[in-house]
Structure 1
Amino acid sequence: MASQNSGASSRSWSRSMFGVDGSAALTLNAGMILQKRLPYDVSTPRRLPGVAPFDMADWLQVDEAYAGQMAERVRLLSERRTDVLRLDPDAKAAAGELLDLVLAHLPEGFSREGERIFCPDGRVVEADRSDPLGTLGVIVQEDLCLMQPRDGVHVLTGAVLCFPASWLLSEKFLRPLVGIHDPVKVYDEGLAKRVQRLFDGLQPGRPLWRYNLLNYDDPALFQPRSENARRPEVDQETAPFTRSERQCLVRLPQTGAVVFSIHTYIVAR
């Protein structure tokens, strides 16, 4: 739930806990931004698409890598904005609704005074209603994608995507689900139909989540790669880092858009 306490003591506590005044986070160590552990059990794989319900109070997460990840997000949005943010003009209403929803569900460590958001790392962000995705990109760790139904399929109409795992927002923007998952081998026709039914049936207030898991040689958060580019061979047994995404699906009640949020975890094995 959002914290409404805007006192100095609350902000001081947040700065210490999330790696600004203290050393809780394994961040910015030789350029690496790491979490200590994954916050969910990955020992028993789920059958694809592997979704489960969750409480909206648990939607947005703040972890020990908050300060490091947010510094990287601020940098990317400043230096490479067109690579990490896209919004179709017809999706502006959905983006505005998403901003309102996130501000209503800010987790512990945040506080708010009107349009001013006090973040866990000590920054103060002024909500810019003319740039809802840009505002969200410097407040929460989650990447946020908007999927909207067009001609019977859900299309990516907007996103702030600072931490892509081997894909390019520019290539996937305005594509349907099938096109977004190309060239993922396991995303066959059967799985595509199940995922589309999942999106069609998602109800406001009844969100779903899943995770993915791969081992990486490179711990970088920003890993854009064209779908036509050759992918590096990674030995899943010996790669030194595990990268996992906590992926959530949330239906916006007013515009009907589906929010696909991605919280990226990278831990040393």
Structure 2
Amino acid sequence: MKSVTQQNIPYDPLAEKSLPGVAPLALDDWLFIDDAYSGQMALRCQLLSIRRKEVLVANNSVLPAARELLGLVQDLLSKRDDFQIRDGGILCPDGRFVDLNHDDPLKTLGQIIQEDLCILEKIAGQHVLTGAVLCFPASWSLSEKYQKPLTAIHRPVTEYDANIARRVQRLFDGVRSGSPLWRKNALWYEDPSLHQPRVEAAQRNYVDAKTAPFLRTERQCILRLPQSDAVIFSIHTFVMDRERALAASG
């Protein structure tokens, strides 16, 4: 799958923070459009067309939350100059016109914004992944995480111990509508491809952080939808070549 690299990242990708490392974010700053928008959106549309079952999961029960999410995104984009909402759709910065299909809200969202979107709803005391559009997985598989709670989703992550699990659960419980939170991660990769799924049983190839040619970093946000009370976990993926990434980190 083709790669699309960015020229700039809006934060220091290599500044160290302890997990979960979150900070507050203004709702109007949640969605981020960068210089790779056109290339990333072309890839997203291709994946949604030819690999929909791999990159989008949802059932009828998550539809109200997904429609609410589409409405929120529509409202936020209406305040921007680079999107135009008209004639039942959205004219995007790359010139594409996307119909606002409220019967297929996650696919619609996947064609409009760069963020991958996961919907988590609280079931029996735990936040469960009940729907998602995930075009750019970083070494994980959407099918394996679907319908699972946070603890099971993070099972392969070495650093995700019981203490971190409790702190993350508190974040998901405590995030307030209109007041998102954000964090970042950073991983070195040999391959700059954006679509890199991997099942849990498949070991990730060793990558030497001292020589790897590409840095992959995600701007991850969590926010609560006021009507459905679902929590949204969004992922904006940046890929930069090593020299540029080190320069961005100062």
TM-score normalised by the shorter chain: which range applies?
over 0.9
Q: How far has the Cα of 1:42 moved from its partner?
A: 3.3
- Give runs of aligned pairs for residues 46-125 of structure 1, distance below 5 A: 46-106=17-77, 107-125=80-98
Aligned residue identity for 2:137: P
Residue matched to 2:15: 44
| Cα separation, partners in 2 of 1:35 and 1:79, compared to 1, 3 Å | same
Residue by residue over 1:121-158, the C-alpha shift from the partner in whole angstroms, topping out at 9 and shown as x without a partner, is 00001111100000000000000000110000100000
Residue matched to 2:246: none
CA contact (8 A) 1:247 1:261 kept: yes
Residue matched to 1:207: 180
Q: Unmatched 5+ residue regions in structure 2? A: 243-250
RMSD of Structure 2 on Structure 1 (CA):
1.2
- Percent of residue pairs identical: 55
Aligned residue identity for 1:265: F
TM-score normalised by structure 1 residue count: 0.87
Q: How far has the Cα of 1:88 moved from its partner?
A: 2.7
TM superposition outliers: structure 1 runs of 4+ over 4 Å: none
Residue by residue over 1:177-227, the C-alpha shift from the partner in whole angstroms, topping out at 9 and shown as x without a partner, is 011112000000010011001101111011100000011000000000001
Q: Unmatched 5+ residue regions in structure 1? A: 1-27
CA contact (8 A) 1:74 1:137 kept: yes
Q: Which has the higher contact order (CA 8 A, sep 6+)?
A: 2
Q: Structure 2 CA distance, aligned partners of 1:43 and 1:163?
A: 20
Residue by residue over 1:16-75, the C-alpha shift from the partner in whole angstroms, topping out at 9 and shown as x without a partner, is xxxxxxxxxxxx9xx431001221023531221000001111111111100100000000
| Cα separation, partners in 2 of 1:113 and 1:98, compared to 1, 3 Å | same
Aligned residue identity for 2:132: A
TM-score normalised by structure 2 residue count: 0.94
